[in-house]
Structure 1
Amino acid sequence: MTANYKNYLPLPALALLFMMLTGQAATAQKWLPGYFIDVKGVKTEGYIYPNPGGSGPFKNEGFISFRDEEKSTPYYLSTSDLQCFVAGRDSFVVAHAPGNETWAKKEFDFVRVAVNSDMKIYATRGADSGGGGGKKVQVAPAVGIGTGTYGTAYGGGLGISIGGGGGSNKSKLSYYYGTNTANMKHLTGENFIDVMSEAMADEPEVVEQIRNHNFGIGNVEKLIAYFNKVKASHSN
């Protein structure tokens, strides 16, 4: 029996179609609708690429790429220019690396509020437990609105990888806690129960799961997702 190939695309056409779809997906992932709030408190809407890679406008500072319109010429914005920005459903604030740490050889960078309460949880990649070492920022899901010393976080959503240098980053996800970015300290296995119970105190069901050791420092992402789910159920 002879196969009928009339309804199939030739291999070169399939390859071209795959490349086009891949390129469209990559573009969609890079540029997200959002806005930034500058150091004067002015809000500007447009499109943001949170992880442009390469060298930014200022040494030792994180930066993003911004377009006023979807197809307009992009320009860079550094931490010196901004209080915060939102890309898609993700919100970021400007923070100074705590203590003697550096973040991807940066003193200032954008960090994401993972849990937004009086005791906030911040998340980054590549930070060590006490100091030194570079990192690129990749944040966990955020919730609500929060104000820190270096800016304000808005909205909430999925994780976006940001930080100088671009590219993929497989370093361990690290968490901080504090009432604002100026007093961030590392979340550890030793302080996990107390800190997360305080940060998630508005949801007793979640706190019970924490104190029953159903979550730990190794699965903070799952805990945050669970917390967000419980929190969202109250608004339905």
Structure 2
Amino acid sequence: MLTFVSAKSQKFQPGFFIDTRGQKVDGLINPSPSGKAPMKDEAFIVYKDNPKGTETRLSASDIKCYVIGPDSFVVAHAPHNETWTKQELDFVKVVLNEETKLYVINGGKAGGGGSGFSFHPGISIGTGVGNYGGVGVGYGGGQGGYGGGNGNNKITYYFGANTAEMSQLTVENFNDVMSDIMGDEPQALEAIRSGKFTVGNVNGLIEYFKKLKAAHQK
């Protein structure tokens, strides 16, 4: 998801969505469909219950969230001081499901790119879904193109207790925000405070944090 919408993400993938009543519906989901949206200014996905099933377009206002593979996406409005150029109501990916959550959006599109967390219905549905499941990945890593806005091929990270309270991650607030999110991992805090990671390579910090958390779960 982070830089491009992959070819895989443009096809149907196993997953499920949670409707506005809180019901889980399993099936196949296309997170980046083409064609006209069912509702103006809203992102949408396409769902079918089996490979030969009837395709149904679901607007963002029809559901609370959806999951494909390891990736969880929740419905969100742009923060009060921003305007998203693609849709007023869109899907943001849950990158870190901590007390203060980290979300990401890329050019109004969602999908692709595993980030290593799983989803369990009933946990913070609609406000940062997903139950963290760390993966052991390499330390460091770069971030290709941090975006200050919601333009095509630009990445924008947000933080907040839920999507209604999220604000954009910036150069100015990076250290304070990421220290708050990762406060339970002293090594991550030291990496932030020493300047090893910045907004420009925040993805590397995320992966390092996951690696540290995964080590505790073994």
Q: Look up the match of 2:99.
A: 118
In the aligned structure 2, how far is the partner of 1:84 from the partner of 1:42?
11
Q: Could you state the TM-score of these two structures normalised by the residue count of structure 2?
A: 0.79
- Counterpart contact for 2:9–2:32, Cα < 8 Å: no
Q: Look up the match of 1:154.
A: 130
Matches within 5 A, 1:78-227: 78-126=59-107, 135-137=108-110, 141=115, 143=117, 147=124, 150-155=126-131, 171-227=153-209
How far is 1:143 from its partner?
Answer: 4.0
Computing the radius of gyration over CA atoms, which structure comes out larger, 1 or 2?
A: 1
SS at 1:147's partner residue?
coil
| Counterpart amino acid of residue 227 in structure 1 | F
**Which runs of 5 or more residues in structure 1 are unaligned?**
1-24, 127-134, 159-168
1:133-167 CA distance string (max 9 Å, x none): xx43468736466637x445125689xxxxxxxxx
Q: Could you state the TM-score of these two structures normalised by the residue count of structure 1?
A: 0.73
**Which runs of 5 or more residues in structure 2 are unaligned?**
1-5, 136-150
| Counterpart amino acid of residue 120 in structure 1 | K
Q: Tell me the number of residue pairs that the alignment of Structure 1 and Structure 2 aligns.
A: 193
Does 1 or 2 have the higher relative contact order (CA < 8 Å, sep 6+)? 2
In the aligned structure 2, how far is the partner of 1:85 from the partner of 1:111?
10
Query: What is the aligned-residue identity percentage?
Result: 47
In the aligned structure 2, how far is the partner of 1:85 from the partner of 1:62?
12
Give the ranges of 4+ consecutive aligned residues of structure 1 lying more than 6 Å apart after TM superposition.
none
RMSD of aligned Cα (Å): 2.7
SS at 2:217's partner residue?
coil
- Counterpart contact for 1:113–1:139, Cα < 8 Å: no
1:176-235 CA distance string (max 9 Å, x none): 111111111111111111100111112221111111111000001111111111111211
